[in-house]
Amino acid sequence: MIGFVMGLALVRNYSTRLLIFVQNHLKNLSIQRSVVSIQWSVVSGQWSVVSG
């Protein structure tokens, strides 16, 4: 029974860590996406200047 409770606590600890990791990963992904979109807008702006 004690082992079961300890196993439950371990699983809960692991799942919360996994959740935090996934959330951080998603945050990093969204940050990368916004950076990429900013870079694209800069590049397209440069192209319009060059072609104009």
pLDDT in tens, 10-31: 999 999 999 999 999 999 999 9
pTM metric for this prediction: 0.55
**From the CA atom positions of the chain, what is the Rg in Å?**
22
Q: Which two tokens stand for residue 40?
A: 């694209």
Q: What is the 3-state secondary structure (H, E, C) of the chain?
A: CHHHHHHHHHHHHHHHHHHHHHHHHHHHHHHHHHHHHHHHHHHHHHHHHHHC
Average pLDDT over residues 23-40: 93
Q: What is the pLDDT of residue 48?
A: 85
